[in-house]
Structures are given as structure tokens and as C-alpha cells.
Structure 1
């Protein structure tokens, strides 16, 4: 029987790559995005249904999920939509902070809640939530972004325990850097003069040279597919060489990392 995956944020990057991979594997793909009228690639593929969804609109989430579950038996939900907010806390407005939390965190909670009864009634299903390496370790200029990704990690682990009794799994994919236009397309910046040296140093990590060494987005999509189909009782999938290196470094302890950062940014 053909399986179905529902993906948020499928217009580009990891969401689009995952949609294409699952379609190639014979799945039915429900690819959602804010502006489906602009899509020129996925709409040419068989077994991909494109639907409009702004994940900041709670009512649209409810109505879209109700429509989808009335027509399809969804097997996997991939909570992928999100963007980066980069800047020291003092540089960010309250509006920027709220928008980041609504998009990156509340959307995952709301989409998950909307699909839970569907999975519970069929006694199976998987939520695959996309976090980040910065959902496992903190990093300067990423405090709010990391706050949303750490929160998704904790939310996902809690829900994994909560839903296991109904045969529902929750899994987390924590990618490192990916070779996408995320830094240009899906990133919002904050600036503060007092942190100029720190910001300049951190920005080097988003250079074209650095990005060329990141994981290919297709490789991360393969890990999403693995998580969806490996039948393992595994919660976290740390995805990418740099992601695994950073995660291993976290084992050194937060105190060591703070001292390392102080050394890097000595004024």
C-alpha cells in the first residue's frame, strides 16, 4: 500500500529535497508552502499534492489538516518549516523574537496537535521534527533560534513518551550546515555595535567557502527517509559530519565551551 508523507516548508531546501526523494520512492507526498503558485518543480511530479499553508496561521493549520486527513491516511508528518534569526539578543526587537517563536516552535506544536488524533485513531504514524545542531548546542548570535530548536527537541522527546502507547513515534533530525541558500533566503539578521567583533567572527561561518563544505541537502533528506522507514526506536538523528563533530564537542562540557568562546572573542 502506498504511504503518505505531509511536509511543511516544502518550497525549497530540505523540504523540497525530501519531497522529491519520497516521491521517487513511491510515496504520496503532500507538500505545503506559503505560496504554492510560485512552485515550478514539484508540481510537475506525479503523486505530489501541493497545498497552501502558512504555519504562522493557526486556523489554516487546523483547516488544512482536517482537509488532508479526510482524504488521505497520512503515515508521516515532517515538521520542517522555519527560518534563522541571527543576532545578539540586544539587537533583536520583540516582534522579531515573537515571529521566530511562532514560526519555528509554535507551528511544530500546532501541526503535531492537529495530526495527533489522526495517528491515534489509526494506531500508527510518525512525526519527524527538524531541529538543528543549534538545538543541541548553544552558539553566539543564535540565542533565540537555539531557544526554538532546543524547545522542539524537548517537546519531541516528551511527545515520544506520551504517544508511544498509541503506536506513534516522534523523531528528531538535527542537521548541521547544509548547502542551500538558507543563509540568504531564510535568515533574518540583527545588528548591535557593541558586539561588532563577535558578529564579524561568527559571520565567517556563513561564507561561500564554509557553505561549500557543508552537507548536501540531498544527504540530509536521505537521513529523513531513513528515520521514516528504518523501524528503529531511535529519537535523535544527528545529521552531517559537522553536526556530529559539534555534538561530540558538547560532551566536553558547557564550561569548557564557554572558556573556548571567551578565548575566541577576547576584546
Structure 2
């Protein structure tokens, strides 16, 4: 059955790969991008099934307008993939106020504005699937990626709450949690002005970086197609094998700590 898919941040990386995968199998795609020229060739190849919309997701009014245009053009929106976002690298002390605000405005508020605009459409349809792009770093925080992880931790909380709120309307929610992939996302990572005192921290992180931990972006397409087609999608889906090992270790350590301090926790309950 043909589906109508709304994808933000579709000019490159995951967004473009997934948009192409949907179009190749005959789905309709609304692709939002900052620069429409980035999808010129794809638009020529799929003139009937692809609607390209220029959008800055930090502009709430523009987000509402883009969703309305998509609904008018195709008549329905079956799937939302909130993919727009970027990474920022910097130790917590290094982060400038505007860097922090821009990261949160894009990765959190941008996702919220599109989600809020699309819920009424899916609620009226009594069906829909909202897919939110988080990260393995939305579960595990690495040094110098604190503000990026903070934005993805927020996506996790927002989306988990959302899933419980909209399930009665026939709307499903899935949080995608990819580990590192060899996309041009990495080249676009913004960086704070470094403080030399944190050079050793950066060096240690770089030293732990293994080539085998980085996934092949194109390999995610089949997983996303399967996710969209399943009747009972999971709330969370990891993409890649490296993230699973990180998360498994971190959760075991968290449980160990909580159990060690269990008596203190119980005493703090007061009754």
C-alpha cells in the first residue's frame, strides 16, 4: 500500500537515503530542506511523488505552513520522520550560550514544532506513525558531546510521553537511535572554541574511536522501510551494532550503582 511520508532534513545523509528508498518503491514523499536545489535531480526523477519544501525547522510558523502544504498536496500524511538536526561538539565549560541555544532550537524545538503540527492530521485520520530521530547518544553521553546528548535525551523523553498520549488516536511513535554512521553529518558537526585543558579528554575519545563502530548509512534503508510497514512498531529501535554494546554496558553499570545505594534511596522515601 502506497504511503505518504513527511521527512525533515532530507537534503543529505539519512534523510536523503530514506527519501530515495521510499520513492523507489512507489511511496509519496514530502522532503523538507533548507536549500531545494539539493534535491533537484530527485525532483526531476519523481515529479509526481516528491514534494520538496524549503524549511528551517526552528521557524514554528514555517513548520505549520509546511505541514499544511503537504496535507493539501497529497491529501494525507501517513508517516512523519523527524530527521532534521545537527551535532555540536564541545566540553561543557567550552560551550557558548548561543551555541547551546542553537543546538536545542534545532534538535528539540524544531522536532516539537513539526510534531505538534502533524498530530491533528493524524488524529483526524485515526492513523499515523511518528518516527523521531534520536541517537545512541540520547541514551549514553560521551565527553565533549554533552549538549548534543542533552538535545537527544530531550527527544527521548518527549517521544516516550507522546507515544502514551496519542496511542488512543491510532498514532504510533518510534524513536530511532543510530550509533555513528559514515554520513556527511560528521563533517557538519559544529565545534566550540577549545580550551587546552580538555585536549586530553578529546584525545582519549578519539583513541577509543574504532572504524568498525561506524555503520554504513545505506544499510539503514531496509530497516526504516520495515519499520514503516510493520503493524506493531517498537517504541525504540537501535540502528547499528555498536550502540547496543555501549547501552548494554551503561545500563548494567547504572543498575549496579542504584542497587548499591538502594538502602539510602529507600530511607530517603521517609515511610
Q: What TM-score, normalized to structure 2?
A: 0.88
Trace 1:152-191 onto structure 2 (pairs within 5 A). 152-184=155-187, 186-190=188-192, 191=194
Structure 1 position 243, deviation (Å): 1.3
CA contact (8 A) 2:213 2:242 kept: no
- Give the total of aligned pairs: 253
Aligned equivalent of 1:26: 26
Structure 1 position 226, deviation (Å): 1.8
Aligned equivalent of 2:94: 91
Trace 1:105-120 onto structure 2 (pairs within 5 A). 105-120=108-123
SS at match of 2:181: coil
SS at match of 2:215: coil
Aligned equivalent of 1:261: none
Give the distance between the partners of 2:178 and 2:141, measured in 1 at CA: 14
SS at match of 1:253: helix
Give the distance between the partners of 1:56 and 1:205, measured in 2 at CA: 34
Query: Structure 1, residues 106-156: CA drift from partner, whole Å, max 9, x if none?
Result: 111110000010000000001000110000111111111011101101111
Trace 1:94-243 onto structure 2 (pairs within 5 A). 94-184=97-187, 186-190=188-192, 191-204=194-207, 210=210, 213-243=213-243
CA contact (8 A) 1:76 1:127 kept: yes
Q: What TM-score, normalized to structure 1?
A: 0.89
Aligned equivalent of 1:247: 247
Give the distance between the partners of 1:253 and 1:78, measured in 2 at CA: 32
Structure 1 position 203, deviation (Å): 3.5
CA contact (8 A) 1:43 1:50 kept: yes
Structure 1 position 205, deviation (Å): 5.8
SS at match of 1:49: strand
Comparing 84-93 with 241-250, greater Cα deviation is found at 241-250
Bigger Rg, which one: 2
Give the distance between the partners of 1:220 and 1:202, measured in 2 at CA: 25
CA contact (8 A) 2:19 2:31 kept: yes
SS at match of 2:204: helix
Structure 1 position 45, deviation (Å): 2.6
Residue 55, structure 1, aligned to residue 46, structure 2: no
Give the distance between the partners of 1:56 and 1:79, measured in 2 at CA: 13
Query: Structure 1, residues 182-207: CA drift from partner, whole Å, max 9, x if none?
Result: 211x201121222111012223466x
CA contact (8 A) 2:108 2:154 kept: yes
Give the distance between the partners of 1:31 and 1:233, measured in 2 at CA: 23
Aligned equivalent of 2:260: none
Aligned equivalent of 1:6: 6
Which one of 65, 68, 71 corresponds to residue 66 of structure 1? 68
Give ranges in structure 2 of 5+ residues lacking alignment: 258-271
Query: Structure 1, residues 62-99: CA drift from partner, whole Å, max 9, x if none?
Result: 11111111222110000000001111011111000000
Give the distance between the partners of 1:95 and 1:234, measured in 2 at CA: 35
Give the distance between the partners of 1:216 and 1:165, measured in 2 at CA: 36
Residue 79, structure 1, aligned to residue 79, structure 2: no
RMSD, aligned CA: 1.8
CA contact (8 A) 1:172 1:236 kept: yes
